[in-house]
Structure 1
Amino acid sequence: MSNKSVLFLEQAAEYAKQIDYSRPAGSQVYGFIRDAIVSMQLEPGQLISETALANQFGVSRTPVREALIKLANLGFVEVRPQRGTYVSRLSREAILEARFIREALEVSVVSYLAEHTESRLFNEAESIIARQEDAAAIDDALLFQSLDDDFHQLLSGNTGFDRVSNMIEQEKAHMDRLRNLSLHMSGQYARVIQQHRAIVTALRSGNRQEAVSAMTLHLREVYNVLDRLPVDHPEYFV
């Protein structure tokens, strides 16, 4: 067993002390494993032992299996019959497809918000950006990325169209690990914060075209990341 696998199981045992058994254990186990995958603590290609996790969490295999099924549906893990469950490797095609879908949705979101936005949205967005600056200052990539998700969910949630947020959340799963890896690239925290500020500035002005341009530029950052990371980490990609 690799050092990372041992550390992951040790952390699972610690996390087990925080599980609230008045709520479904499967959703809590899912959150823990998902964060470990997104943060690359569990690396692409790494084996996940259902039995070992159940033992460390102090639960039956059922909630662990439920969590792994959900992760498989999102494309985070791959179940290989007679061999086990492995963390999926990154797929360039899946990432680009997800980016294409997200751009279609999120450009429409800011286009709508430029003409239908209340001032409280700007205050909430600025608060998230300020917390992102704090996360960047301590190099907490997972927290920074969670706040990035909050920023985009805030925008989509303010359209009043409930399914939009869910669709964006589902598609971004294909990009989550790439986004986390990209935050370790020089200057990436600052670039994301600058792009978020540009989106908010455009929405404040009510300039639909500027908002569309700012969001498009932000989402196409993935092209720059994909030019570099497969070279730096070929073992992570299919």
Structure 2
Amino acid sequence: MKIDGVAAIVTGGGSGLGAATAKLLAARGAKVAILDRDPVAGERVATETGALFAECDVTCEASVKTALDAAEARHGTARILVNCAGISDLIKTVDDSRMPHSLDAFRRIIDINLVGTFNTLSQFAARLCAADPIGEERGVIVNTSSIAAFDGIAGQAAYSASKNAIAGMSLPIARDLAPHRIRIVAIAPGTFLSPMVEALPQQYRDALAAAVPHPSRLGRLEEFAEFVETIIASPMINGTCIRLDGAARLQ
């Protein structure tokens, strides 16, 4: 799949991995639509890249439909979807006061990370099915998992569950969408220098970087975006989850 001239959707495109991906796709000539619940951040990146911004709650069917309608009206049928919208939190199953994990907090993380990802990709794919193929495929979906899906730390029960499910649904969805010539791939990034990580004390950031065998540093947001570009360009990458972590294993 070529990027130049193609319409692309990036959820969570107002910051972090999503913003880096939106910027790279725009630089490669894609007609980018940024979907984000933060209008200030989303508009800022849209202005920088010439993209369209649509305020969107990925957990809401109507909100996603409205945002996709706006993107389609401006750019035509999107061929690329990159799902970066998500949240994280550290909450133990039972805390030091012997209080159980808040069920509302657990549901919130699952809803945004997992349900939001599926809500967006299913609506995106349904629209794309009606488009003519370009060569041997119609388009590609890239979801964001995490290495926490496989070796999550204490306090990541909800986050790890959501990211593991994103990895786990890649193959069945790839099989569902194969007759429509639509690919789906998940990336499981390690610790990247996102706004959340940048807010940590330098000592903690240094410890995270030192835990990466090689290269022994935090991932750069641009490296995630470049890997998205590689997936888009490689038709045989499909139905899988790929770690992007410098061989890191969470402790």
Q: Above 0.5 in TM-score?
A: no
User: TM-score per shorter chain, which class?
Assistant: under 0.3
Higher strand share: 2
Which fold has the larger relative contact order, with Cα–Cα distance below 8 Å and residues 6 or more apart in sequence? 1
